[in-house]
């Protein structure tokens, strides 16, 4: 399927990324370094969860040497969103 800004789109159930279970809210008086440090501690304490996502990869890294440029790998549940259904 071609359709995401001209990129070839592949469906894969392995298109998941790890996101923090609980996010630290950065407040106005906190520095970015402090926020990153506390978020790292929260990830260690509360862990991460797997969420369905989409990412763009180099096809040579995926073993698809017959494609030029980049390809988009999308979770099957998000294919309908890209198709506009």
More confident residue, 14 or 6: 14
**Interatomic CA distance for residues 31 and 71, integer angstroms:** 37
Q: Which two tokens stand for residue 16?
A: 């998941």
**What mean pLDDT is predicted for residues 71-83?**
84
**What mean pLDDT is predicted for residues 73-83?**
84
Banded pLDDT at 31 (limits 50, 70, 90): very high
State which residues form the domain around 15.
2-83
Q: Is it the case that residue 25 has pLDDT exceeding 90? A: yes
* Bridge partners, 36 (sequence order): none
Q: Is it the case that residue 85 has pLDDT exceeding 70? A: no
Provide the Cα torsion 17, 10, 13, 56; round to 10°.
-10
How far is C-alpha 55 from the geometric centre of its chain's CA atoms? Answer: 5
Q: What's the structural domain count of the chain?
A: 1
Contact of 49 with 19, CB cutoff 8 Å: yes
């Amino acid at each position: 399927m071609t359709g995401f800004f001209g990129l070839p789109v592949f469906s894969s159930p392995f298109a998941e990324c790890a996101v923090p279970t609980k996010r630290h809210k950065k407040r106005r008086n906190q520095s970015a370094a402090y926020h990153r440090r506390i978020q790292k501690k929260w990830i260690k304490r509360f862990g991460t969860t797997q969420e369905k996502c989409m990412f763009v990869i180099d096809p040579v890294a995926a073993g698809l040497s017959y494609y030029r440029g980049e390809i988009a790998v999308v979770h099957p549940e998000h294919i309908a969103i890209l198709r506009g259904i």
